[in-house]
Amino acid sequence: MKAKSTALSSSRSRSSSANAEANSKPASAKRRATARMPAVERRAQIQAKAFDFFSEYGLTAQTRALAEACGVSQRLLYSAFPNKAALLNAVYEAEIAGPFKAIWFVQLRDRAVPLVERLNTFYREYYETILTRRWLRLFLYASLAEVEMAPTYIAAIIRTLLLTIVEEAAFDKGLPSPGDPAMAQEIGWILHGNISHLAIRRHVYGDSTSIEIPRVISLHITAFLESMPRILEEVGGGSK
């Protein structure tokens, strides 16, 4: 016990000496000067770093630590973004909603191409472009923190996507689409939820198997399309 106390005392002494030496250095030696760059570039740099930072440490992480990770002062960070909410909104626009391609809606509705091919093409691209490790972690952290990121994304993009998929699947089977949009969305989640959870399993849970992603996506799409007649019969259809 005495030896442990002596070691602790020695450690504190060394720490105090180190702190005294650090404090004796001029301010310029403690932290390197921030490189100058145009405001637009600085904002983009901080925004990109914030995406990495918050996806790793969550949205409750302090902006002081983010500023250090960016190599800037907290004051400079707030000169680019007036507050944390503004920074998170910029990250959402650029990194969460931004990667979604509007052309995907056009391609999903192109009935000159077989539906199974349209869905496989879309979900392979969606998986590679959107459902990355960083995207998923930030999206999940935002949901847990009750930030509007996830609800906004679902309301602005995913609901339209789900309705499109179900409408096209019903048409492909020669059946009427559900008259209730809420029910149509729930049916769409059967496929979209499975693909999203596949990404969560691989990127968040660390569940790696020998089955390649495109093959698993294809299996989910086949199961969804084959089940559509039974599902639509159960919920009752509306008019096309």
63 lies in a domain? yes
Greater model confidence, 83 or 16 = 83
51 lies in a domain? yes
Dist. CA 140–CA 124, nearest whole Å: 21
Domain boundary among 61, 77, 95: 95
How confident is the prediction for the chain on average, in pLDDT? Answer: 85
Q: What is the mean predicted confidence (pLDDT) over 22-27?
A: 44
Dist. CA 187–CA 97, nearest whole Å: 23
The tens digit of pLDDT for each residue in 172-231 reads 999 999 989 999 999 999 999 999 999 999 999 998 888 999 999 999 999 999 999 999
Spatial contact of 66 and 50, defined as CB atoms under 8 Å apart: yes
User: Is residue 85 domain-shared with residue 117, that is, in the same domain?
Assistant: no
User: Is residue 44 domain-shared with residue 161, that is, in the same domain?
Assistant: no
pTM of the model: 0.78
User: Is residue 154 domain-shared with residue 38, that is, in the same domain?
Assistant: no
5 lies in a domain? no
**For 47-83, b where at least 16 C-beta lie within 10 A, e where not — what string?**
bebbbebbbeeebebebeebbebbebeeeebbebbee
State residue 25's pLDDT score: 43
Q: What is the mean predicted confidence (pLDDT) over 42-70?
A: 90
CA geometry: angle 219, 225, 226, nearest 5 deg: 85
**Number of domains the chain is built from:** 2
Q: Which of 16-30, 83-97, 107-121 has the highest mean pLDDT?
A: 107-121
User: Is residue 226 domain-shared with residue 120, that is, in the same domain?
Assistant: yes
pLDDT range class, residue 27, cuts 50, 70, 90:
very low
Residue 110's domain comprises 103-235
Domain boundary among 73, 95, 117: 95
User: Is residue 71 domain-shared with residue 123, that is, in the same domain?
Assistant: no
pLDDT range class, residue 35, cuts 50, 70, 90:
low
User: Is residue 156 domain-shared with residue 194, that is, in the same domain?
Assistant: yes
State residue 145's pLDDT score: 82
17 lies in a domain? no
Domain boundary among 79, 95, 111: 95
28 lies in a domain? no
